Amino acid sequence: MNTRDTLKINEKGHLEIGGADCVELAKHFGTPLYVFDEAYIRRMMRTYQDTIDEEYDRNGLVLYASKAFSCEAIYAIAKQEGIGVDVVSGGELYTAMRAGFPAEKITMHGNNKLPREIAYAMECGVGTIVIDEYSEADLLDAEAAKRGVVQNVLIRVNPGVEAHTHAYVQTATPDSKFGFSIGSGAAAAITKYVLGKKHLRLKGYHCHIGSQIFEKQSFVLAVEKDLAFMADVKKSLGFEAEVLNMGGGFGIWYTDEDEKIDAEGYRGYLRALLSAVKSGCAAHGLKLPFVNIEPGRSVVGEAGITLYTVGAIKDIPGIRKYLAVDGGMFDNPRFALYQSKYTAVLANRADEKPAEIVAIAGKCCESGDLIGTEFNLPKANLGDIVAVLSTGAYNYSMASNYNRNFIPAAVLVKDGKAEYIVKPQTYEDLVRNDVIPDRLR
Ligand code: LLP
């Protein structure tokens, strides 16, 4: 089990998160329920920013990648911690603005930002927009001209680094819908194009090589390729980048097949990256750029768990035993999408030894609706509370109302006390936007 301060087993044999008893949480708030430990989230945000401040002379800003978990409270926490955020849609931006997040500390991404999203970003005064296509540069320039402003932009480049992770979350390979390839010359060509735009101020470059990556070397290699490119552009176009945004991607613990990295370990990842920036700049005669990183998963992933209640048990002798819970792919589609593995615990009997391997199935009408197939648990009974660990990232944010199930509520725990940060849905919420045209009545 995850050994960080977040989770422990109390004297009743119950799982605790952030000092709150999971059995009590399930009783009070119902299941399924997302639960987040505030201290973990703050610790990670602070660790990253402190590392930049200490190792890189305060010359950088952490941007929490809010696609990992977006709701108003998370932007409120990031604001209090003094870091920035990245957003990838009008919806994430709207949520951040509603939470009172300072627009100048927001960076906006997207490989196909809609004209209305671009207009909205400028209306909000978003600090930086990352260009991912020529047509977007045109749109941005026109929108900025209309408003009589000059917009700070970065260009997303693809350094062509292959990191070991699931193919769908790998982004910097040659075949990618993201960014401009450095190797092919596309990145240099768009640089020239953007430099010609009157209402855009090109600050530098962004890259993101993928997610759930454990090799420091992949990040170092990406830095080296980016800096070599920046040196080329300085020579050929006379443009010296002031900003280098290295994206996110640090891996987290899901099962014991993954490394367990504590705050100090993540500091080590960032230190390796920053030291590659320093040595690369020295080697190429570049001035040190302002650095951004965009961690998402590693900030919220291990901070979160999901609580479920076992409602049915199906034992198919010699084949498999299924525990069916009251959630499923509608609150966690990651097994269905990526065959992602998780660790589960019976929260009401967390001190008992595992006795059997079971699959945890959801309640959706399809066979692929599984949280996973290989959970090592004590023999479960109906009514037991299952806690699936490390669900804080890309669960709520990828949840759906499939089968018209409710997207679970989320609570935030601080010093043993839990409060809603996302309220439960109601049947009314599900039909809120439904319309029956008159001719069907
Ligand atoms: N910056 C950019 C431009 C990104 O595209 C991403 C993630 C991040 C930062 C944050 O990366 P992180 O630190 O969270 O690894 N739905 C998938 C993950 C997709 C990640 C997409 N981009 C999953 O559930 O594993």
Domains of the chain (ranges, CATH numbers): 7-30+303-431 (2.40.37.10), 38-297 (3.20.20.10)
| CA 337 – ligand 1 centroid, Å | 14
pLDDT at 3: 47
The single residue listed with the structure tokens 């990253």 is 48
User: Has residue 239 got a pLDDT over 80?
Assistant: yes
| Pocket flag, ligand 1, residue 308 (CB < 6 Å) | no
Residues 6 or more apart whose CB falls under 8 angstroms from that of 174 comprise 158, 160, 181, 183
Could you tell me the two tokens for 82? 């003094």
User: Has residue 275 got a pLDDT over 60?
Assistant: yes
Pick the closest to residue 84 from 109, 120, 56, 57 (CA basis): 109
Q: Could you give the 3-state DSSP secondary structure of residue 108?
A: strand
| CA 432 – ligand 1 centroid, Å | 30
Identify the band that residue 172 occupies on the pLDDT scale cut at 50, 70 and 90: low
pLDDT at 167: 57
Rg of the chain (C-alpha set): 23
Quick one: 254 exposed, middle or buried, by C-beta within 10 A (0-12, 13-18, 19+)?
buried
Write out pLDDT tens, residues 323-362.
Answer: 999 999 999 999 999 999 999 999 999 999 999 999 999 9
HSE at residue 430, side-chain half, CA atoms within 13 A, is 13
pLDDT at 176: 81
Output the residue whose Cα is nearest ligand 1's atom 18.
169
| Pocket flag, ligand 1, residue 301 (CB < 6 Å) | no
Q: Could you give the 3-state DSSP secondary structure of residue 93?
A: helix
Q: Are 401 and 330 in contact (CB under 8 A)?
A: yes
Residue % of the chain over a pLDDT of 90? 95
Q: Could you give the 3-state DSSP secondary structure of residue 283?
A: helix
Output the residue whose Cα is nearest ligand 1's atom 24.
394
pLDDT at 360: 98
pLDDT at 5: 78
HSE at residue 171, side-chain half, CA atoms within 13 A, is 24
Which is more confident, 177 or 434?
434
Could you tell me the two tokens for 108? 């906006």
Write out pLDDT tens, residues 77-102.
Answer: 999 999 999 999 999 999 999 999 99
User: Has residue 383 got a pLDDT over 50?
Assistant: yes
User: Has residue 281 got a pLDDT over 80?
Assistant: yes
User: What's the whole-number mean pLDDT along residues 249-266?
Assistant: 96
Torsion of CA 227, 228, 229, 231, to 10 degrees: 90
| Pocket flag, ligand 1, residue 68 (CB < 6 Å) | yes
| CA 149 – ligand 1 centroid, Å | 31
Write out pLDDT tens, residues 88-145.
Answer: 999 999 999 999 999 999 999 999 999 999 999 999 999 999 999 999 999 999 999 9
pLDDT at 170: 57
Residues in the chain: 441
Measured in degrees and rounded to the nearest 5, phi and psi for residue 353 equal: -75, 145
| CA 394 – ligand 1 centroid, Å | 9
Q: Could you give the 3-state DSSP secondary structure of residue 380?
A: coil
Could you tell me the two tokens for 345? 């615990």
- Ligand 1 test: best mutation among 297, 332, 390, most atoms within 8 Å of CB? 297
Cα separation, 67 vs 44, whole angstroms? 16
pLDDT at 12: 98
Identify the band that residue 4 occupies on the pLDDT scale cut at 50, 70 and 90: low
364 is catalytic: no
DSSP state of 301: T
Strand 344-346 versus strand 385-389 pairing type: antiparallel
pTM of the complete model beyond 0.85: yes
Could you tell me the two tokens for 388? 């699936």
